Structure 1
Amino acid sequence: MTRIEPWSALTGPELATIAARDPVALLPVAAIEQHGPHLPLATDVTIGEGIVTAAIEQLERNAEPLDLLILPTLAVGASLEHTSFAGTLSLPAEQAIAQIRAVGAGVAAAGVRRLVLFNSHGGNKAVLDLAALQLRAECGLFVVKASYFRFTPPPGALAADELAHGLHGGALETSMMLHLAPDAVRREALADHPSLGAKRARAGAKLGPEGDAGFAWMAEDLHPAGVTGNAAAADAGTGACLVETFAGRLAEIVTEAAGFDIAALGM
């Protein structure tokens, strides 16, 4: 039986009853930050929660035995790279780590032993790595780290160059926003914003902003508008396909987290 509940809607005794069934808790982690002139500041929140909602629908259709608790989204993350632009809200990395640790400690205190951190903002990657390790060491939690932008997209959904270099506000994010929140997209402002990384790659350079050896960057380093990628190439159909594919992978991760033999880890 699949039972999925929002953490914040439960009473304390109800949560204790669910905790005794060894559920998985899912914590969405996002950001409030600039996404250029065409996307709202809450883009990462909208995309993250949209993928979670689609994953829940897939899990309910699959009807596998599962208890899942959905924690409230941590909307403000570590967004130092975007702080030169108006509207960005950013926690210092240490505070972002402490925020996740505090929520994780509350999860553990409630008797829940499995936690999936689901991330929709690139700047949170290092934060999640450190917070997850600390929660494992300090609270004995089994913690899974998952970022949707590391999931394999559907074949042919986007050009390889766009996938490699459209890191922020490009066709990928804009397509998903056209599917999830079309009225929030400023269509008149859709444009191509070529990244410094793409220019370097075309010139044969091996060192870029991402990859096996990347340099630290502020958003304006890659493009003056703080956006990288071709938002003008985005469309809602591609966005729907991306959301469903990423949601399917998240559903698989949650299912595997629920069935993981944590006794093998000494837990």
Structure 2
Amino acid sequence: MKWHDLNSPEIKALASRDPVAILPVAAIEQHGPHLPLSTDVNIGEGLVEAAVTQLETIPLVVLPTQAVGASLEHVTFPGTLTLSPQSLEDALVGLASGLHAAGLRRLVLSNSHGGNKAAIDSAALRIRCEFTMLVVKAHYFRFPKPSDVGLPDTEWMHGLHGGAIETAMMMHLKPDLVRTDELQCFSSLGEELERTLTWIRPEGVAPFAWTSYDLNPQGVSGDATLATAELGSRLVEHYAGVLAEVVRDAHAFPIGHLERRQTEV
């Protein structure tokens, strides 16, 4: 059920069922020579659509995708559109205010772009404090990885952007948008740092602030040549399954704990 396909009385009726609202948060940004600017949008929407098919008994509604995210790390490459992190944070809070006004109390932010994490963290806390809503931050790339897909550990660690994982899911979801003649292994600065430093990496225990050009001059990190449509199908199935479980949890969450006044404890 899509928010924008309903009318106002239908939204009112839906709110009476205490549904979970799912907001896909994505990005429009460069993904190298082989993937389109819409990669994060396509993956994010594909995961939500696949998850929803597993949730027929849960009252829910899917909001219009927040397509443009915080992509400062990619602005040196043509095609990237970005909001400042503060603007994205404010946009998410503004959208939540509309949900709150309609009587909704449960929101899952389903994020498909790493650069959105900081804005989502801040927005989620503001929404919790201003509207007493449950806000769940669901970043698919932080979900447990599947154990049976055969990717090397180096790809899970360093294939951060446009590597095998994203390319494979795009081959499954939008094969006509993948330039297979441009697939390459895009080595990352992270691999060098793993050999020479103890803790500092692009991601992990002590991450440093980076632009995609810092990691690779083509703005891509990972081995896209490892991608197949079969791998993409398995990844989408896995991540969508985890997302469906998150939505079930959001529906079952004892929201009364959030609605208690501090003087009651």
**For 2:85, which of 81, 88, 93 is the aligned residue?**
93
- Following superposition, the deviation at residue 204 of structure 1 comes to 5.1
Aligned mates of 2:51, 2:115 — CA distance in 1:
23
Q: Secondary structure at the match of 1:40?
A: coil
- Following superposition, the deviation at residue 249 of structure 1 comes to 0.4
Counterpart residue type for residue 101 of structure 2: A
1:88-167, aligned counterparts within 5 Å?
Answer: 88-157=80-149, 158-167=151-160
Q: Does 1:12 align with 2:5?
A: no
Aligned mates of 2:223, 2:54 — CA distance in 1:
30
- Following superposition, the deviation at residue 199 of structure 1 comes to 1.7
Counterpart residue type for residue 50 of structure 1: G
Counterpart residue type for residue 56 of structure 1: V
Aligned mates of 2:216, 2:185 — CA distance in 1:
11
Aligned mates of 2:158, 2:256 — CA distance in 1:
41
Q: How many residues align?
A: 259
Aligned to 1:266: 259
Deviation above 4 Å: which 4+ runs of structure 1?
Answer: none
- Following superposition, the deviation at residue 144 of structure 1 comes to 0.5
Counterpart residue type for residue 52 of structure 2: I
Aligned mates of 2:100, 2:140 — CA distance in 1:
25
User: Structure 1 residues 49-58 or 153-162, which shifts more?
Assistant: 153-162
Aligned mates of 1:66, 1:171 — CA distance in 2:
33
Aligned mates of 2:17, 2:239 — CA distance in 1:
27
Aligned mates of 1:175, 1:199 — CA distance in 2:
25
1:240-251, aligned counterparts within 5 Å?
Answer: 240-251=233-244
User: Structure 1 residues 108-117 or 156-165, which shifts more?
Assistant: 156-165
Aligned mates of 1:103, 1:136 — CA distance in 2:
13
Q: Which runs of 5+ in 1 are unaligned?
A: none
Aligned mates of 1:211, 1:243 — CA distance in 2:
24
| Contact 2:190–2:201, Cα closer than 8 Å, also in 1 | yes
1:177-256, aligned counterparts within 5 Å?
Answer: 177-203=170-196, 205-256=198-249
Q: Secondary structure at the match of 1:58?
A: coil
**For 1:56, which of 49, 52, 76 is the aligned residue?**
52
Aligned mates of 2:27, 2:116 — CA distance in 1:
8
Deviation per CA, 1:94-133: give whole Å up to 9, x if none: 1110111111110111000000000000000011100000
**For 1:27, which of 23, 30, 39 is the aligned residue?**
23
Identity %: 54
Counterpart residue type for residue 256 of structure 1: D
Q: TM-score, normalised by structure 1?
A: 0.95
Aligned mates of 2:159, 2:192 — CA distance in 1:
12
- Following superposition, the deviation at residue 56 of structure 1 comes to 1.1
**For 2:74, which of 82, 85, 94 is the aligned residue?**
82
Aligned mates of 2:259, 2:90 — CA distance in 1:
25
Aligned mates of 1:75, 1:127 — CA distance in 2:
14
Q: TM-score, normalised by structure 2?
A: 0.96
Q: Which runs of 5+ in 2 are unaligned?
A: 261-265
Counterpart residue type for residue 176 of structure 1: M
Aligned to 2:263: none
Counterpart residue type for residue 85 of structure 1: F
User: Structure 1 residues 193-202 or 110-119, which shifts more?
Assistant: 193-202
